[in-house]
Amino acid sequence: MDPSESAHINCPYCGEPLEIAVEASVGRQDYIEDCQVCCKPIQFRIRVSADGTASVDARSEDE
């Protein structure tokens, strides 16, 4: 089983679809990464459920 997978989100600022790598083995991650398109900081919140399914929440920093 591949411990890493990718997730697709839309930038909360410009709406561009982005693909991010998710390390499902880590379980829980919160980090900020600049949008590749508009360069604004996106706050990522990643949760991995017991069956290994990752869900990614992306929001603007000022929310």
Is residue 61 within the footprint of Zn ion (CB under 5 A)?
A: no
Q: Which of 1, 7, 14, 12 is nearest to 54 (CA)?
A: 7
Q: How far is the CB of 35 from Zn ion (least distance, A)?
A: 3
Is residue 38 within the footprint of Zn ion (CB under 5 A)?
A: yes
> Is 58 in contact with 11 (CB distance < 8 Å)?
yes
Of residues 7-36, which lie at the interface with Zn ion (CB under 5 A)? 11, 13-14, 35
Query: Rule CB under 5 A: which residues touch Zn ion?
Result: 11, 13-14, 35, 37-38
